[in-house]
Structure 1
Amino acid sequence: MVEIKRACVHRLITGWEEPSLYVVKAMFILDCDGQRLVAKYYDETFPSPKEQRCFEKSIFNKTHRADGEIAFLEGMTIVYKSSIDLFFYVVGSSQENELMLVSVLTCLFESLSHMLRKNVEKRSLLDNLDSAFLVMDEIVDGGVILECDSQQVIQKLNFRVDENPLSEQSVAQVLQSAKEQIKWSLLK
Protein backbone atom coordinates (compact mmCIF):
# COMPACT_ATOMS: atom_id res chain seq x y z
CA MET A 1 0.00 0.00 0.00
CA VAL A 2 2.94 2.31 0.66
CA GLU A 3 4.04 1.87 -2.95
CA ILE A 4 0.57 2.87 -4.16
CA LYS A 5 0.62 6.06 -2.08
CA ARG A 6 4.12 6.85 -3.34
CA ALA A 7 2.95 6.38 -6.92
CA CYS A 8 -0.01 8.73 -6.35
CA VAL A 9 2.32 11.42 -4.99
CA HIS A 10 4.61 10.92 -7.99
CA ARG A 11 1.63 11.46 -10.30
CA LEU A 12 0.78 14.73 -8.58
CA ILE A 13 4.31 15.97 -9.18
CA THR A 14 4.58 14.89 -12.83
CA GLY A 15 1.12 15.95 -13.94
CA TRP A 16 -1.96 14.28 -15.40
CA GLU A 17 -2.96 13.06 -18.81
CA GLU A 18 -6.38 13.64 -20.35
CA PRO A 19 -8.97 11.57 -18.42
CA SER A 20 -10.31 8.50 -20.19
CA LEU A 21 -12.77 5.71 -19.56
CA TYR A 22 -10.29 3.25 -21.05
CA VAL A 23 -8.47 2.50 -17.82
CA VAL A 24 -7.47 -1.16 -18.14
CA LYS A 25 -5.04 -2.27 -20.85
CA ALA A 26 -4.96 -5.93 -19.81
CA MET A 27 -5.91 -8.48 -17.18
CA PHE A 28 -4.26 -11.85 -16.93
CA ILE A 29 -3.63 -14.77 -14.63
CA LEU A 30 -0.37 -16.71 -14.70
CA ASP A 31 0.61 -19.93 -12.97
CA CYS A 32 3.61 -20.29 -10.65
CA ASP A 33 5.86 -20.92 -13.69
CA GLY A 34 4.77 -17.72 -15.44
CA GLN A 35 2.58 -19.51 -18.00
CA ARG A 36 -0.63 -17.82 -19.12
CA LEU A 37 -3.87 -19.38 -17.94
CA VAL A 38 -6.32 -16.57 -18.68
CA ALA A 39 -5.68 -13.25 -20.43
CA LYS A 40 -7.64 -10.35 -21.87
CA TYR A 41 -5.94 -7.46 -23.69
CA TYR A 42 -8.03 -4.39 -24.41
CA ASP A 43 -5.91 -2.23 -26.71
CA GLU A 44 -3.18 -2.48 -29.30
CA THR A 45 -0.25 -1.89 -26.94
CA PHE A 46 0.68 -5.55 -27.38
CA PRO A 47 -0.98 -6.53 -30.67
CA SER A 48 0.44 -10.02 -31.18
CA PRO A 49 0.30 -13.06 -28.91
CA LYS A 50 4.10 -13.20 -29.02
CA GLU A 51 4.39 -9.64 -27.68
CA GLN A 52 1.76 -10.36 -25.04
CA ARG A 53 3.59 -13.45 -23.79
CA CYS A 54 6.90 -11.57 -23.75
CA PHE A 55 5.31 -8.81 -21.66
CA GLU A 56 3.74 -11.39 -19.31
CA LYS A 57 7.11 -13.10 -18.87
CA SER A 58 8.79 -9.77 -18.06
CA ILE A 59 6.12 -8.92 -15.52
CA PHE A 60 6.29 -12.36 -13.95
CA ASN A 61 10.09 -12.21 -13.65
CA LYS A 62 9.83 -8.83 -11.95
CA THR A 63 6.99 -9.70 -9.56
CA HIS A 64 6.95 -13.40 -8.69
CA ARG A 65 9.39 -13.02 -5.79
CA ALA A 66 8.37 -9.52 -4.75
CA ASP A 67 6.11 -8.74 -1.83
CA GLY A 68 4.71 -5.58 -3.39
CA GLU A 69 1.35 -4.87 -4.93
CA ILE A 70 2.44 -2.58 -7.73
CA ALA A 71 5.11 -2.54 -10.43
CA PHE A 72 6.09 -0.23 -13.27
CA LEU A 73 7.39 -1.72 -16.51
CA GLU A 74 7.54 -0.55 -20.13
CA GLY A 75 5.50 2.56 -19.38
CA MET A 76 2.76 0.53 -17.69
CA THR A 77 1.40 0.44 -14.19
CA ILE A 78 0.80 -3.12 -13.04
CA VAL A 79 -1.01 -4.13 -9.88
CA TYR A 80 -0.79 -7.76 -8.86
CA LYS A 81 -1.68 -10.34 -6.26
CA SER A 82 -0.66 -13.94 -5.73
CA SER A 83 -2.64 -16.83 -4.31
CA ILE A 84 -1.24 -20.33 -3.80
CA ASP A 85 0.02 -21.10 -7.34
CA LEU A 86 -1.60 -18.23 -9.27
CA PHE A 87 -0.61 -14.63 -10.01
CA PHE A 88 -3.31 -12.09 -10.88
CA TYR A 89 -2.40 -8.94 -12.85
CA VAL A 90 -4.22 -5.80 -13.95
CA VAL A 91 -2.36 -3.44 -16.28
CA GLY A 92 -2.97 0.25 -16.97
CA SER A 93 -0.98 3.12 -18.44
CA SER A 94 1.78 4.79 -16.44
CA GLN A 95 -0.59 7.70 -15.75
CA GLU A 96 -3.44 5.51 -14.52
CA ASN A 97 -4.88 5.73 -11.04
CA GLU A 98 -3.42 2.80 -9.09
CA LEU A 99 -6.38 2.69 -6.73
CA MET A 100 -8.74 2.12 -9.66
CA LEU A 101 -6.54 -0.71 -10.91
CA VAL A 102 -6.38 -2.21 -7.41
CA SER A 103 -10.18 -2.12 -7.16
CA VAL A 104 -10.41 -4.06 -10.45
CA LEU A 105 -7.83 -6.56 -9.20
CA THR A 106 -9.65 -7.00 -5.90
CA CYS A 107 -12.96 -7.49 -7.67
CA LEU A 108 -11.41 -10.06 -10.02
CA PHE A 109 -9.83 -12.01 -7.17
CA GLU A 110 -12.87 -11.92 -4.87
CA SER A 111 -15.27 -12.84 -7.69
CA LEU A 112 -13.15 -15.80 -8.73
CA SER A 113 -12.69 -16.80 -5.11
CA HIS A 114 -16.46 -16.92 -4.70
CA MET A 115 -17.01 -18.74 -8.00
CA LEU A 116 -14.30 -21.29 -7.14
CA ARG A 117 -15.64 -21.69 -3.60
CA LYS A 118 -12.51 -20.16 -2.05
CA ASN A 119 -10.35 -22.76 -3.81
CA VAL A 120 -8.30 -20.26 -5.84
CA GLU A 121 -5.63 -22.49 -7.31
CA LYS A 122 -4.49 -23.55 -10.78
CA ARG A 123 -6.39 -26.82 -11.06
CA SER A 124 -9.65 -25.29 -9.90
CA LEU A 125 -9.22 -22.34 -12.26
CA LEU A 126 -8.49 -24.62 -15.22
CA ASP A 127 -11.65 -26.61 -14.44
CA ASN A 128 -13.65 -23.37 -14.53
CA LEU A 129 -12.03 -21.32 -17.30
CA ASP A 130 -15.40 -20.33 -18.72
CA SER A 131 -16.34 -18.76 -15.38
CA ALA A 132 -13.03 -16.90 -15.24
CA PHE A 133 -13.66 -15.34 -18.65
CA LEU A 134 -17.23 -14.44 -17.67
CA VAL A 135 -15.98 -12.76 -14.50
CA MET A 136 -13.42 -10.76 -16.48
CA ASP A 137 -16.09 -9.74 -18.99
CA GLU A 138 -18.40 -8.53 -16.22
CA ILE A 139 -15.65 -6.42 -14.65
CA VAL A 140 -14.06 -4.82 -17.75
CA ASP A 141 -15.35 -4.36 -21.28
CA GLY A 142 -12.93 -3.05 -23.90
CA GLY A 143 -10.77 -1.45 -21.21
CA VAL A 144 -13.69 0.33 -19.53
CA ILE A 145 -14.37 -0.66 -15.94
CA LEU A 146 -17.98 -1.82 -15.63
CA GLU A 147 -18.02 -3.15 -12.08
CA CYS A 148 -15.73 -3.14 -9.04
CA ASP A 149 -18.05 -4.84 -6.57
CA SER A 150 -17.52 -8.59 -6.52
CA GLN A 151 -21.00 -9.22 -5.06
CA GLN A 152 -22.56 -7.43 -8.04
CA VAL A 153 -20.45 -9.47 -10.46
CA ILE A 154 -21.51 -12.72 -8.79
CA GLN A 155 -25.14 -11.64 -8.73
CA LYS A 156 -25.07 -10.75 -12.46
CA LEU A 157 -23.46 -14.06 -13.36
CA ASN A 158 -25.94 -16.04 -11.28
CA PHE A 159 -28.80 -14.09 -12.85
CA ARG A 160 -27.46 -14.81 -16.33
CA VAL A 161 -27.31 -18.55 -15.57
CA ASP A 162 -30.87 -18.47 -14.19
CA GLU A 163 -32.11 -16.80 -17.38
CA ASN A 164 -30.85 -19.70 -19.51
CA PRO A 165 -32.88 -22.77 -18.59
CA LEU A 166 -31.45 -24.76 -21.50
CA SER A 167 -28.10 -25.03 -19.75
CA GLU A 168 -29.72 -27.03 -16.99
CA GLN A 169 -31.73 -29.33 -19.25
CA SER A 170 -30.50 -32.58 -20.64
CA VAL A 171 -30.37 -33.16 -24.39
CA ALA A 172 -33.35 -35.49 -24.11
CA GLN A 173 -35.40 -32.81 -22.37
CA VAL A 174 -34.54 -30.24 -25.06
CA LEU A 175 -35.50 -32.68 -27.83
CA GLN A 176 -38.75 -33.55 -26.09
CA SER A 177 -39.59 -29.87 -25.70
CA ALA A 178 -38.83 -29.25 -29.40
CA LYS A 179 -41.07 -32.17 -30.40
CA GLU A 180 -43.92 -30.77 -28.31
CA GLN A 181 -43.56 -27.33 -29.86
CA ILE A 182 -43.53 -28.75 -33.41
CA LYS A 183 -46.57 -30.92 -32.63
CA TRP A 184 -48.55 -27.95 -31.30
CA SER A 185 -47.54 -25.74 -34.24
CA LEU A 186 -48.72 -28.44 -36.70
CA LEU A 187 -52.05 -28.94 -34.89
CA LYS A 188 -52.90 -25.25 -35.08
Structure 2
Amino acid sequence: MQGLEPSLYTVKAVLILDNDGERLYAKYYDDTYPTVKEQKAFEKNIFNKTHRTDSEIALLEGLTVVYKSNIDLFFYVIGSSHENELMLMAVLNCLFDSLSQMLRKNVEKRALLENMEGLFLAVDEIVDGGVSSGDDVPLTEQTVTQVLQSAKEQIKWSLLR
Protein backbone atom coordinates (compact mmCIF):
# COMPACT_ATOMS: atom_id res chain seq x y z
CA MET A 1 0.00 0.00 0.00
CA GLN A 2 2.86 2.30 -0.77
CA GLY A 3 1.97 5.84 -1.76
CA LEU A 4 -1.57 5.91 -0.43
CA GLU A 5 -2.25 9.44 0.70
CA PRO A 6 -4.82 10.04 3.42
CA SER A 7 -8.01 11.43 1.95
CA LEU A 8 -11.16 12.93 3.33
CA TYR A 9 -13.03 11.64 0.30
CA THR A 10 -13.93 8.49 2.17
CA VAL A 11 -17.37 7.81 0.74
CA LYS A 12 -17.70 6.64 -2.85
CA ALA A 13 -21.45 6.02 -2.69
CA VAL A 14 -24.51 5.89 -0.45
CA LEU A 15 -27.25 3.47 -1.49
CA ILE A 16 -30.64 2.46 -0.18
CA LEU A 17 -32.27 -0.54 -1.81
CA ASP A 18 -35.59 -2.21 -1.09
CA ASN A 19 -35.95 -5.89 -0.18
CA ASP A 20 -36.06 -6.78 -3.90
CA GLY A 21 -32.76 -5.03 -4.52
CA GLU A 22 -34.38 -2.12 -6.35
CA ARG A 23 -32.86 1.33 -5.98
CA LEU A 24 -34.74 3.76 -3.74
CA TYR A 25 -31.82 6.14 -3.35
CA ALA A 26 -28.32 6.23 -4.79
CA LYS A 27 -25.68 8.92 -4.68
CA TYR A 28 -22.27 8.26 -6.19
CA TYR A 29 -19.41 10.61 -5.35
CA ASP A 30 -16.91 9.60 -8.02
CA ASP A 31 -16.85 8.03 -11.46
CA THR A 32 -16.16 4.42 -10.41
CA TYR A 33 -19.52 3.59 -12.02
CA PRO A 34 -20.10 6.45 -14.48
CA THR A 35 -23.31 5.23 -16.15
CA VAL A 36 -26.68 4.33 -14.67
CA LYS A 37 -26.35 0.91 -16.30
CA GLU A 38 -23.05 0.26 -14.50
CA GLN A 39 -24.47 1.59 -11.24
CA LYS A 40 -27.53 -0.65 -11.42
CA ALA A 41 -25.35 -3.69 -12.24
CA PHE A 42 -23.17 -2.89 -9.20
CA GLU A 43 -26.27 -2.44 -7.02
CA LYS A 44 -27.66 -5.78 -8.15
CA ASN A 45 -24.33 -7.45 -7.42
CA ILE A 46 -24.02 -5.84 -3.99
CA PHE A 47 -27.58 -6.80 -3.07
CA ASN A 48 -27.10 -10.41 -4.21
CA LYS A 49 -23.91 -10.69 -2.12
CA THR A 50 -25.30 -9.09 1.03
CA HIS A 51 -29.05 -9.53 1.43
CA ARG A 52 -28.84 -12.98 3.05
CA THR A 53 -25.90 -12.40 5.35
CA ASP A 54 -25.72 -11.16 8.91
CA SER A 55 -22.34 -9.46 8.59
CA GLU A 56 -21.95 -5.71 8.25
CA ILE A 57 -18.87 -5.44 6.04
CA ALA A 58 -18.05 -6.83 2.61
CA LEU A 59 -15.28 -6.42 0.08
CA LEU A 60 -16.75 -6.33 -3.39
CA GLU A 61 -15.29 -5.29 -6.74
CA GLY A 62 -12.30 -3.75 -4.96
CA LEU A 63 -14.50 -1.66 -2.65
CA THR A 64 -15.27 -1.73 1.05
CA VAL A 65 -19.00 -1.96 1.66
CA VAL A 66 -20.65 -1.47 5.04
CA TYR A 67 -24.33 -2.20 5.26
CA LYS A 68 -27.33 -2.64 7.44
CA SER A 69 -30.86 -3.84 6.82
CA ASN A 70 -34.07 -2.86 8.54
CA ILE A 71 -37.54 -4.26 7.77
CA ASP A 72 -37.69 -3.82 3.96
CA LEU A 73 -34.66 -1.55 3.41
CA PHE A 74 -30.94 -2.14 2.86
CA PHE A 75 -28.55 0.73 3.59
CA TYR A 76 -25.05 0.78 2.07
CA VAL A 77 -22.07 3.08 2.42
CA ILE A 78 -19.23 2.32 0.02
CA GLY A 79 -15.58 3.34 0.18
CA SER A 80 -12.33 2.29 -1.45
CA SER A 81 -10.66 -1.00 -0.57
CA HIS A 82 -8.19 0.73 1.78
CA GLU A 83 -10.84 2.81 3.53
CA ASN A 84 -11.31 2.65 7.29
CA GLU A 85 -14.38 0.48 7.93
CA LEU A 86 -15.08 2.28 11.20
CA MET A 87 -15.32 5.63 9.41
CA LEU A 88 -17.70 4.17 6.84
CA MET A 89 -19.72 2.53 9.62
CA ALA A 90 -19.95 5.90 11.43
CA VAL A 91 -21.47 7.41 8.27
CA LEU A 92 -23.89 4.48 7.94
CA ASN A 93 -24.95 4.65 11.58
CA CYS A 94 -25.40 8.41 11.43
CA LEU A 95 -27.59 8.07 8.34
CA PHE A 96 -29.67 5.30 9.88
CA ASP A 97 -30.01 7.07 13.24
CA SER A 98 -30.97 10.35 11.56
CA LEU A 99 -33.61 8.63 9.43
CA SER A 100 -34.87 6.72 12.45
CA GLN A 101 -35.32 9.97 14.33
CA MET A 102 -36.87 11.74 11.32
CA LEU A 103 -39.27 8.87 10.61
CA ARG A 104 -40.09 8.43 14.30
CA LYS A 105 -38.44 4.99 14.41
CA ASN A 106 -40.56 3.80 11.46
CA VAL A 107 -37.64 3.14 9.08
CA GLU A 108 -39.40 1.27 6.29
CA LYS A 109 -39.93 1.74 2.57
CA ARG A 110 -43.27 3.57 2.58
CA ALA A 111 -42.25 6.04 5.29
CA LEU A 112 -38.94 6.67 3.54
CA LEU A 113 -40.61 7.32 0.17
CA GLU A 114 -42.96 9.81 1.85
CA ASN A 115 -39.97 11.66 3.34
CA MET A 116 -37.40 11.68 0.53
CA GLU A 117 -36.59 15.38 1.03
CA GLY A 118 -35.45 14.57 4.57
CA LEU A 119 -33.31 11.73 3.21
CA PHE A 120 -31.66 14.09 0.69
CA LEU A 121 -30.98 16.61 3.44
CA ALA A 122 -29.57 13.98 5.79
CA VAL A 123 -27.22 12.46 3.20
CA ASP A 124 -26.00 15.88 2.03
CA GLU A 125 -25.38 16.98 5.59
CA ILE A 126 -23.66 13.78 6.69
CA VAL A 127 -21.41 13.32 3.70
CA ASP A 128 -20.80 16.89 2.51
CA GLY A 129 -20.76 18.14 6.08
CA GLY A 130 -17.31 16.77 6.75
CA VAL A 131 -16.79 13.15 5.83
CA SER A 132 -16.04 13.92 2.20
CA SER A 133 -15.20 17.60 2.51
CA GLY A 134 -12.21 19.05 0.72
CA ASP A 135 -10.51 20.30 3.90
CA ASP A 136 -6.87 19.40 4.39
CA VAL A 137 -7.26 18.29 7.99
CA PRO A 138 -7.54 14.59 8.81
CA LEU A 139 -10.79 13.37 10.25
CA THR A 140 -10.59 12.77 13.95
CA GLU A 141 -13.11 11.28 16.30
CA GLN A 142 -14.05 14.83 17.30
CA THR A 143 -14.68 15.78 13.66
CA VAL A 144 -16.87 12.71 13.17
CA THR A 145 -18.80 13.59 16.33
CA GLN A 146 -19.31 17.14 15.03
CA VAL A 147 -20.58 15.81 11.68
CA LEU A 148 -22.99 13.44 13.40
CA GLN A 149 -24.25 16.19 15.71
CA SER A 150 -24.63 18.63 12.82
CA ALA A 151 -26.69 16.12 10.81
CA LYS A 152 -28.94 15.41 13.78
CA GLU A 153 -29.45 19.15 14.39
CA GLN A 154 -30.35 19.69 10.72
CA ILE A 155 -32.94 16.92 10.92
CA LYS A 156 -34.43 18.41 14.09
CA TRP A 157 -34.69 21.86 12.49
CA SER A 158 -36.27 20.48 9.33
CA LEU A 159 -38.88 18.68 11.44
CA LEU A 160 -39.72 21.86 13.34
CA ARG A 161 -40.35 23.89 10.19
TM-score, normalised relative to structure 1: 0.73
Aligned equivalent of 2:151, options 153, 163, 182:
153
Structure 1 residues without counterparts, runs of 5 or longer: 1-13, 163-167, 169-188
Q: Secondary structure at the match of 1:113?
A: helix
CA distance in 2: counterparts of 1:133 and 1:104, whole angstroms: 14
Identity %: 61
Root-mean-square deviation over aligned CA pairs: 2.1
Q: Structure 2: any 5+ residue segments left out of the alignment?
A: 134-142
Report the secondary structure of 1:141's partner residue.
helix
Q: Higher Cα Rg: structure 1 or 2?
A: 1
Among 92, 102, 110, the residue aligned to 1:123: 110
**Retained in 2: the 8 A contact 1:138–1:147?**
no
Are the counterparts in 1 of residues 65 and 77 from structure 2 also a CA contact under 8 Å?
yes
SS in 1 for 2:106: coil
How many Å separate the matches in 1 of 2:119 and 2:159? 14
Q: Judging by fraction of residues, say which structure has more helix.
A: 1
Q: Normalized against structure 2, the TM-score is what? A: 0.85
Shift of 1:151: 4.3
Q: In 2, distance between residues paired with 1:72 and 1:89?
A: 12
The 1:129–1:18 alpha-carbon spacing in structure 2 relative to 1, beyond 3 Å, is same
Structure 1 runs (4+) deviating above 4 angstroms are 145-151
Partner of residue 45, structure 1: 32
Alignment of 1:99-110 (within 5 A): 99-110=86-97
- CA distance in 2 between counterparts of 1:134 and 1:147 reads 18
Q: Show CA shifts across 1:55-108 (max 9, x none).
A: 010000000001100001111000000000000000000010000000000000
- What does residue 58 of structure 1 align with? 45
Count of equivalent residues = 150
Aligned equivalents of 2:2, 2:71: Cα separation in 1: 38
